[in-house]
Chains A and B, each alone.
Chain A
Amino acid sequence: MFYYSIGNSKTGFIKDQVRLNPFIVKTKMPSRELDIQDLKISFSTPRGKLTAVNGISFHLNQGETLALVGESGCGKTVSALSILRLLPEPPAEILSGKILFSGQNLLSLNAKALQNLRGRSISMIFQDPMTSLNPVLTIGEQMAETLLRHTPMSRPEALQKSADLLGKVEIPSPKEKLKHYPHQLSGGMRQRVMIAMALACSPRVLIADEPTTALDVLIQAQILELLGNLKRETGMSILIITHDLGVVAEIAQRVLIMYAGEIVESGPAQALLDDPRHPYTRGLIASVPKLGALKKTGTRLEEIPGNVPSLDQRPSGCAFHPRCNWAIEKCKTQKPPLREGEGQRQWRCHLEPGSL
């Protein structure tokens, strides 16, 4: 039994709403699959030790889809990779924090235990499919290898299962594709191969780093539906990194907004999108081109002025203040407090609620 569910089609969603008992939703605390506490990650560079992730805390509930959104370079991928200890250490270093998976701190596991976890209990879809697929092995060889590592089966069985998985992610003539090398597939197909590989061992937690960025909206809708179905069938939890707020609206129950290595806002997806509390979140939502709205009136897209601060130049006080229209004096020097609002809303800002 899970307490949240998703569906892309109208019918799917409404059905689930009915099926859920609102009483249970309100009273039973969902169990936490992942609980990340005060995670701090730095990189050693020629310019010194730079903090990429600055003490973030969040959790992923069982059966939930949680979206992680934020500016390019804010540390989303680094945070995600650290969960499975996939960062190159050094230069990366986890300075502090805990990553609890079913109560166990992943940061204190040895290499072998981690290896067992990867791909089986927690699986990851990487942001860049080309660098994570081996260019000299065929798709079939790579997929079969993943399957064989975690599940006892014969090679022909592994190949058959690989073909089935490719079919599930809507790749045409999957048997043929097994013989292809990565460069022979289109960008979107490579991304779907990665998705198929991540789903191979029915993981409990799926970490998906921009899983649909290279896909057309139609395939994207199908993949999101597939993830939704898998989630319903297996109770899988999903941490999805995306910059597509439409996707967030469609599949996530909760959202984390990250800026310059910190989580600046979090809350239930629809509420957060309808009524952003942090100026950065507001800017993000405003810069999405709305269908039909801006039509050729010569208007520019709304943009957040200024640049992403690089790691060694992160501003003091609130890291967003140099780009913030509402910044006041104390934003320059003091860390903003964590504010809490009704319905699990949290954000970090000096401004009084309602000032935006």
Chain B
Amino acid sequence: MNKGKGPALLEVRDLKKHFLPRKRFLQEQAPPVRAVDGISFTLQAGETLGLVGESGCGKSTAARTLLRLIEPTSGQISFCGKNLTDIPETEMRALRREMQIIFQDPYSSVNPARRIGRILQEPFEIHGFQNKKEKTEKAAQLLERVGLPPEHFNRYPHELSGGQLQRVGIARAIALNPKLVVADEPVSALDVSIQAQIINLLSDLKEQLDISYLFISHDMGVVEYFCDRVAVMYFGKIVELANSEQIYNSPQHPYTTALLNAIPNLESGRIKQEAPIKGDIPDPGNPPQGCAFQSRCPLKEKQCAEEIPALKEIAPGHYAACFLKQ
């Protein structure tokens, strides 16, 4: 999976995050929710990796875990050659500056009692900028950079629309020129014209500042446009990983195919070729034996109900976890 361009910026090995439901009085402990269940991938400097998949398949959990905003259950994360899973908190804090996140939900990621200008100064404060004038200037520049009018400096989050507030989140993430930005559905809340501006902005920043992105999105059009490689997740695992041409032109996993078929199309929205696939989504607390996708898979065979398919390289740089393709 390593393209061989030297050491990867980010390398994730068999990362797991299981949530243990709270035990209820006189009830047996429920089994853990395997939100992220052993994912591995690398991200080269300057690369954009897309992460797509079912709602609830563990994308946000993976993002938070690999930034150590929540503690992983097991697995290794190495960033710039440092193993994040066993470095002291002080060193972690310094590294945090290099790895930022843009959250899915703009409202819950800002302090509602602070003005926008103040929110944008937070990253500078956390990392030791003291000069008040400089901080204010930088915050004002950020505001402009993400296309918000200067008057927003003195407003409170509730006075902004959802889309406006998401831009604040983006501004905050790029404040300290990080190496890695994990963008958890950064444009979902934005209308298409602003979405295009933001994607162009993220592209510019990538060129100018050499930022790498882990880009979580469910907008398959944006992912195809913006990402070099794409990882498709289903039920806590990566089921397909390849460069975006391969994913979009010759998807190998039936889940990827189903996703691509479900994209609403501007021109021919009403003449969709296939109806969306049916079948129950498995319960994370009670995973099925065998392949997690079997309950919805149109190609299911006997083996699929018995064993879990591993992610294997089926063509150069193209990985898929499906028995039918291996």
Contact = CB atoms under 8 A, between A and B. Distances in A.
A and B bind: yes
B191 A294 contact: no
Contact of A128 (B107, B194, B271): B107
Contacts of A47: 151
Interface string B266-306: 11111111111100111111100000000000000000000
B189 A213 contact: yes
Interface of B: 19, 30, 52-56, 60, 104-105, 107-108, 147-149, 151-152, 159-164, 185, 188-197, 199-200, 203, 218-222, 224-225, 245, 248, 258-259, 262-277, 280-286
A107 interface: no
Interface in A31-74: 45, 47, 69-73
Contact of B270 (A172, A185, A270): A270
A220 B258 CA distance: 12
Interface stretch (A116-124, A304-312, A324-332, A346-354): A304-312
Contact of B283 (A77, A176, A245): A176
A328 to B, nearest CB: 22
Interface of A: 8-13, 45, 47, 69-73, 77, 127-128, 130-131, 170, 172-173, 176, 184-189, 191-192, 210, 213-222, 225, 243-250, 270, 273-274, 283-285, 287-292, 294-296, 300-304, 307-310, 312-313
Contacts of B262: 217-218, 220-221
B43 to A, nearest CB: 18
A130 B199 CA distance: 25
B168 to A, nearest CB: 12
Contact of B196 (A77, A186, A303): A303
A73 B168 CA distance: 14
Nearest to A181: B22
A186 B284 CA distance: 12
A173 B285 contact: yes
Given A289-B224, A310-B151, A300 B200 contact: yes
A172 B280 contact: yes
Contact of A216 (B19, B52, B149, B192): B52
A227 to B, nearest CB: 13
B162 A246 contact: no
A214 B196 contact: no
Contacts of B276: 8-9, 218, 221-222, 225
Contacts of B104: 187, 214
A189 B56 contact: yes
Given A246-B266, A291-B221, A307 B105 contact: no
Q: What are the 6 tightest A-B residue pairs by CB atom distance, in nearest-first order? A: A72-B163, A188-B55, A249-B269, A246-B264, A287-B196, A243-B191
